[in-house]
Amino acid sequence: MNTVYLPTAVIGNGRILATVGGAGELMTFFYPHLDYAQNVHEGLLGIHTHEHGFSWTFEPMWERRQRYLNHSNILRTELLNRKAGIHLTVTDIILPNESALVRQIEIKRTSAVGSISVYQYFDLWLGGHRWCNSVQALLNDRVIVQWFRDFWMAVGGTPFDEYQCGKSDAGMWSNAKDDLYDGSLRGQQLEIGAVNFAIGWRLPLGQLHRTITFAIVAADTQARVLQLLRKHRHSSVHDLVKRTHRHWGQWLASVTVPDVEDELKEAYMRAALTLPLLFDEQLGAPIAAPEFDPAFVASGGYGFCWLRDATEMMHIWLKERRRQQIRSFITWVARTQMEDGSWLQRYWLNGELGPAWSTGEFNIQWDQTASVIIWAVRCYRELHSLVENANDAQRLTRVLWRMVRRAADCLSERITVALSKSEMPLLGMDLWETFRGSFVYTNAAAYRALLDAAWFAQERRQRRRSELWRETAHLIKAYTLEHMRSNGAFTRGLSENGTRDEIIDSSALGAIVPFGMLDLDDVAEREIAIQTVRCILDKITVPTAHGTAVLRYEDDKYAGNMACTMSTLWMARVHFRFMQWCAKRGAQAEAMKWFENALPFLNAGIHGTTPVGIPCELFKPDGTAYWAPGHAWACAWVIKAIDEFARAKQLCDAEGNA
């Protein structure tokens, strides 16, 4: 799969996950888990007319419009070919709690006078394997079934009028993709090896419209996949839409949307609806984003669990009181903790180490271990929302404490031993997985983690540990303040050879938000924070159609030097933090200035999305491209930034009415 798939939409249910392109292309279908396996190489829609021949819906003559239905993860794609006189409405529904995607295609003539054929083409690599697959048309049921070992997929519904099972190798006479172009499929019933298939439905001369419905289902045996297909192939789409709407409505019942403008509400709800698509309900952990670069052609891949991204998502779900998912993830995190108390770069959702380059003693991303500590302590603070009784509370407390104790001991020892040898503390990889050294962001994360752990230790009557961790937190802060500033502002940190890294990096904002290493009540530290913000504003901001965006760091070459959604929202969140600090001290004019200056970053950040509003990791300031759609960290920070905006606005309004 030497292909980068950049979808416009994500659909799923926590059991399966699919991504869809703007022309209705089914780009991925993850089963039986959200990280493995990716079973679709190509899933394309095509049309053949007597007058104009064959075209794929992604070709330029097709106009495309796509949206989610109301506040749900039901996707609707509108496709119009004015030249051919055809309008298609494609509705994609992944049903709650089942490994089934139902697709409805409504075909309407707008001016076409001849016969029309609609085709669904698939090149499936079941289990992620191209070879050794089998595909067969079961003609009695008008069903196509494909299998590889214990991976089975079946497609069926409205009886197809044409079909072809073939070899997917270029130039093979049976190739189903090649067979489409003349508008007539040969009807080969069986093929093995590297296979593909196509099915087609006709709209005869004189018929103005037709509705086609079919299900795409997955299971581990032939009997189960056919049973699941029989259950859904003739289901009423109206009923399925109602059922699926009800499911997402129940999910949103736990989401408290702030009283903000409609555009912000829509961004908030779309981010909230995207997060559950990324969480594997069976394995108990989320991916960072749906994989779109499976061969690591342009990145290292995204379909894995990074603890940093995962805990950002879990902070949102703690607020929403999602007990089942939080408890599952606590179990998962405890199981994946290393012998020394740390966590590594990224994991498969089954807990095994994923493909990684941030490994080895001096390549660890120590901020990930810090992120888990911060989140675990917050779980303890909100224990009442996670447990059912006193015994359950005791059990969960023991799990959380063991996790935090081992992780904080690890961080504390790394820091104190390095400082005792006059070495850089927490030498490792930065959060962007690009540079090796010692970094402001990592150190700020460790500072907050150790202070939180010290509080937890105090709660557990572990006074000596509490004092040690608190002391270590202040040591890492002092080291950062002394060694990682340039012209009064934080830069990235130190290079691996110990020299100051002068690059302006948005992650330095972490010393202000969320880790609070810089105390705004301290005049000197507040000035460092202000100078850091000014340097970032001066060096790595770019205008957009909606406001001002922030790059990750100076001269960032990754993915075409796009703006970063998290960095952009980071700047907004830092402004809201300053605004609140000023307001609480009666400096209302200064508070309003910080508030107003935050808005261009908030507006730009919430528009770092696909055309249907899915938050992305990166985006082109001119809106022409994006990267890593359905990004968990970006989704979480859209929600956090809008929450903080609402609180800041409420504070402004209260002061204005005083």
Report how far residue 291's alpha carbon sits from residue 75's, in angstroms, rounded to the nearest whole number: 19
> Could you give the residue ranges of the DSSP H alpha helices within 32-94?
none
Residue in 58, 60, 118 with CA at minimum distance from that of residue 86: 118
User: Which amino acid type is present at position 359?
Assistant: T
Under the banding of pLDDT at 50, 70 and 90, the label for residue 654 is: confident
Q: Which pLDDT score is estimated for 360?
A: 82
- Stated pTM of the model: 0.97
| CA angle in degrees (0–180, nearest 5) for 310-633-403 | 25
For residue 615, give the DSSP letter.
Answer: B
Q: What is the mean pLDDT of residues 528-540?
A: 98
Under the banding of pLDDT at 50, 70 and 90, the label for residue 656 is: low
Under the banding of pLDDT at 50, 70 and 90, the label for residue 205 is: confident
CATH class of domain segment(s) 9-250: mainly beta
Where are the domain boundaries for CATH 2.70.98.10 in the chain?
A: 9-250
- Return the percentage of the chain with pLDDT > 70, whole number: 99
Beta-carbon contacts of 653 under 8 Å, excluding residues fewer than 6 positions away, are none
Report how far residue 227's alpha carbon sits from residue 364's, in angstroms, rounded to the nearest whole number: 47
Q: Which pLDDT score is estimated for 2?
A: 61
| CA angle in degrees (0–180, nearest 5) for 616-622-626 | 25
Report how far residue 363's alpha carbon sits from residue 436's, in angstroms, rounded to the nearest whole number: 7
Report how far residue 610's alpha carbon sits from residue 344's, in angstroms, rounded to the nearest whole number: 30
CB 563 within 8 A of CB 542: yes
Mean pLDDT over each residue of the chain, to the nearest integer:
96
Where are the domain boundaries for CATH 1.50.10.10 in the chain?
A: 297-524
Region label for 171, one of left (φ > 0), alpha (ψ between -120 and 50) or beta (otherwise):
left
If residue 649 lies in a helix (H) or strand (E), which one and from where to where?
A: helix 632-657
Q: What is the mean pLDDT of residues 613-640?
A: 97
Q: Tell me the per-residue pLDDT of 470-483, one tens digit each, with 9 for 90 and over.
A: 999 999 999 999 99
- CATH level 3 topology of 297-524: Glycosyltransferase (1.50.10)
Q: What is the mean pLDDT of residues 171-197?
A: 97
CB 239 within 8 A of CB 169: no
- Return the percentage of the chain with pLDDT > 90, whole number: 94
Q: Which pLDDT score is estimated for 1?
A: 54
Q: What is the mean pLDDT of residues 321-330?
A: 97
Q: What is the mean pLDDT of residues 433-452?
A: 97
Q: Say whether pLDDT at 564 is over 90.
A: yes
CB 35 within 8 A of CB 303: yes
> How many residues are listed for the chain in this entry?
658
Residue in 586, 589, 594, 550 with CA at minimum distance from that of residue 570: 550
Question: What is Dmax (Cα atoms) for the chain?
Answer: 86
User: Which amino acid type is present at position 301?
Assistant: G
Q: Tell me the per-residue pLDDT of 461-513, one tens digit each, with 9 for 90 and over.
A: 999 999 999 999 999 999 999 999 999 999 999 999 999 999 999 999 999 99
Report how far residue 452's alpha carbon sits from residue 10's, in angstroms, rounded to the nearest whole number: 36
Q: What is the mean pLDDT of residues 90-112?
A: 95
Strands (DSSP E) contained in 206-280 are: 209-219, 279-280
